[in-house]
């Protein structure tokens, strides 16, 4: 008689693998159909752009760029620079006031293509640099940095390129405050193990130069403040020292003529 307290042996589930071939065929067909759909979309946008470049909206151009980045075919590459140059963003005025937000504002001004991702942003940053649009490139890097800080994991693949690209730009610019902020982020990434020793130590000597530059900028700011204060004080002293008859010459002449007028 079997022991009633003995555990009941459960039969192992039998996994049927006979359908694996059918699943492979299904997935292959599904992916092939999706790839064909995207390639047809590329051909449609390319033909439309070739016939009339102005017929494409910025959204269309971004979509074509994202598809070319995803499928870098030789026949598509010839359109990339032309499509890139037709973006309204290329002619946008970018200065220190809107440098951090210009690319974000451009992307959010309309519906973003579903194929757009961090790789597209990185390609755009490098492409604007290639076009000599340095401020535009920096604006894209600033957007990527904001996505990284915001916790988007897709942008971590380009964290080093983004940080070092921004540091090199701001290191050559004034004021140096933004370069200091980026260097602080680089140090944090290095201490977290995301940046190699070689790359970190290559940029570290610039910290000393950055330190002395910041000191010089602080001295210049203080000097300008003192000069402005002295100018304002001097202007006030001049106004206080001006005689009343010099402040109102017309009144003085009227008073002098008054006795003659009574005769």
Domain ranges in the chain are 34-86
Average pLDDT, rounded, for the chain = 80
Q: What is the mean pLDDT of residues 236-250?
A: 57
Instruction: Specify the pLDDT at position 92.
Output: 94
The model carries a pTM of: 0.70
**DSSP states of 171-190:** HTSSSSHHHHHHHHHHHHHH
Segment (H or E) for 168: helix 159-171
Res. 6: pLDDT tops 70: no
- Cβ atoms of 133 and 87 closer than 8 Å: no
Res. 155: pLDDT tops 50: yes
């Amino acid at each position: 008689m079997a022991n009633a307290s003995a555990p009941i042996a459960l039969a192992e589930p039998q996994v049927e693998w006979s359908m694996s071939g059918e699943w492979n065929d299904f997935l292959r067909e599904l992916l092939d159909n999706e790839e064909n759909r995207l390639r047809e979309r590329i051909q449609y946008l390319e033909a439309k752009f070739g016939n009339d470049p102005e017929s494409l909206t910025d959204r269309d151009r971004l979509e074509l760029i994202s598809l070319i980045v995803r499928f870098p075919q030789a026949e598509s590459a010839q359109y990339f620079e032309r499509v890139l140059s037709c973006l309204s963003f290329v002619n946008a005025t970018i200065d220190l006031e809107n440098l951090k937000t210009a690319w974000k504002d451009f992307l959010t001004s309309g519906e973003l293509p579903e194929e757009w991702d961090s790789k597209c942003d990185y390609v755009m940053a490098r492409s604007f640099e290639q076009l000599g649009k340095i401020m535009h490139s920096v604006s894209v890097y600033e957007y990527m940095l904001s996505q990284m800080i915001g916790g988007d994991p897709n942008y971590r693949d380009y964290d080093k390129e983004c940080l070092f690209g921004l540091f090199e730009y701001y290191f050559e610019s004034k004021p140096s405050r933004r370069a200091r902020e980026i260097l602080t982020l680089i140090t944090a990434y290095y201490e977290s193990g995301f940046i190699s020793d070689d790359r970190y130590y290559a940029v570290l000597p610039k910290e000393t130069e950055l330190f002395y530059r910041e000191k010089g900028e602080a001295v210049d700011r203080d000097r300008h403040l003192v000069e402005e204060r002295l100018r304002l004080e001097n202007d006030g002293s001049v106004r206080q020292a001006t005689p009343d008859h010099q402040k109102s010459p017309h009144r003085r002449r009227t008073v002098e003529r008054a006795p003659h007028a009574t005769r």
